[in-house]
Amino acid sequence: MRVTICAVGRLRAGAEKSLIDDYLDRFDRTGRPLGLGPARVVEVEDRKRGGMRAEAGLLRRVLPKGAVTCTLDERGKALSSPEFAALLARWRDDGRQDLALLIGGADGLDPGLRAGADFSLSLGRMVWPHMLARVMLAEQLYRAATILAGRPYHRV
């Protein structure tokens, strides 16, 4: 199952980008034998400053056709790492070819986009800057792959 992180905003070179690249490389290496990956980040930018609605339109355009859509949203469901791993495995085992993980801009995601998603995931009750949310998501993808592979990275 291919994984696409669809995110509003451009990430410049720096610590966050280095972490994301590292975790996604690890995810690819660990996940491929499990039928997970590759993972990539697709960025969109609302240059006209149209707000959440315009950002939603840009995100919809980059969604892989037929992808399971999962929004990252503070109102979503908070999962443990093993629960997140099991969810990825379920989607993969159901024959889903693509997973799109959507991260909104500074104001979050358009309500219509959230309502149309297959799942909404919360990284906790706190609000995180969207650039840090990318890092946390990339790490959790890697962690999920290690859990499914039976590797000791995740400790209970």
Cis peptide before 38 (omega within 30 of 0): yes
Give pTM, 2 decimals: 0.94
Report yes or no on 140 lying in a domain. yes
Instruction: State the CATH number of the domain containing residue 128.
Output: 3.40.1280.10
* Per-residue model confidence as pLDDT tens digits over 46-72: 888 888 999 999 999 999 999 999 999
- Cα 92 to Cα 90: distance, rounded to the nearest angstrom: 5
- Cα 63 to Cα 99: distance, rounded to the nearest angstrom: 9
Report yes or no on 154 lying in a domain. no
Report yes or no on 155 lying in a domain. no
Q: Tell me which residue range forms the domain holding 102.
A: 2-149
Report yes or no on 35 lying in a domain. yes
pLDDT of residue 129: 85
67 Cβ partners below 8 Å, 6+ apart? 4, 96, 97, 98, 99, 100
CA dihedral 135, 90, 1, 84 (to 10 degrees): 10
Report yes or no on 156 lying in a domain. no
